[in-house]
Amino acid sequence: MRRNYLEIMILITILLICMYIVDYYIQPNYFIKSIIKIFLFLFVPTFYSVKAKAIPIKNLFKVRSVREFLKSIALGVGIYIFIITCYFILKSFIDLDNIKSILDTNLSVNRNNFIYVSLYISFINSLLEEIFFRGFIFFNLKKSIPNLLAHSISAFTFSIYHVAMLMNWFNPILFLIALTGLFIGGLLFNWLNEENGNIYNSWLVHMFANFAINTVGLIMFEII
C-alpha cells in the first residue's frame, strides 16, 4: 500500500510539473496544449492503472441512480448562479482586457475561436480533470492513506494545477481567492464522488462551473 502511494505521488508530481512547464514556459496554442493534456491526464494514468492494477477508468462512469444525477444537475445550476453572481460583484476589480490579451498572446484564444474553445473546456477539459484529479488521484489515494489526507491532496493538486494559468490574470488578492475557491471546489467534487462511487456527478457540476466561466468569457469577448 505504501509503495502504491509513493508511486502515485511521484507520478502526480511529474505530470503536474510537465503541465506547469507547458502552461508557463512553452505556452503552445490551445489545440497543442489540449493534445498534451489528454496524453498526460488520460493516457498516462490509464496506462498506470492497467499496469499497477489500480482502479480502471471505465469503472468511474457507473451511474447509480437518476436521483443522484438530478441532484448534481441542481447543484451545478446553483454553482453556475454563484459564480456569475461573484463575477458581477467583483467585476470592477477584474481587468478583462488583460485576461483577453493573455489568452490571445499565450494560447491564441480570441473572439473568433472562443465559442469552440468554450465547448471544449466545458465538456472535454472538465472530463479530463475529473478523470485525473478525482478518478485517478482521489480514488487511488484513498485506498492507501487516511481519507482526509486523500481529500486534501486531490483538492490541493487541483488548485495548484491552475497556478500557471491564473497567476497573471488577477491581482494577488483575487488570485488567492480563486485558488481557495478551486480548493473548496475540489473538496466538493471529491465528496460527490465518494458518495456516488463515480466521477459522473462531479463532472456534471464541473461542467456547470465551466459554463459560468465561459459565460464571463462570452461577455469579455463581447459575443453576448
Q: Which residues of 135-168 are buried (b: 16+ CB within 10 A; e: fewer)?
A: bbbbbbbbebbeeeebbbbbbbbbbebbbbbbee
Residue 57 and residue 43 in contact, taking contact as beta carbons nearer than 8 Å: no
- Please give the mean pLDDT across all residues of the chain: 91
Summarize pLDDT for 20-32 with one digit per residue, the tens.
999 989 999 999 9
Minimal CA–CA distance to 107: which of 217, 208, 186, 9? 217
pLDDT for the residue numbered 113:
96
Minimal CA–CA distance to 33: which of 155, 133, 120? 120
**Domain extent listing, the chain:** 2-220
Summarize pLDDT for 30-72 with one digit per residue, the tens.
999 999 999 999 999 989 888 877 766 667 777 777 888 888 8
In this model, does residue 123 exceed pLDDT 70?
yes
Summarize pLDDT for 153-171 with one digit per residue, the tens.
999 999 999 998 888 899 9
pLDDT for the residue numbered 120:
96
Cell numbers 508511486 correspond to 7
Summarize pLDDT for 94-120 with one digit per residue, the tens.
999 999 999 999 999 999 999 999 999
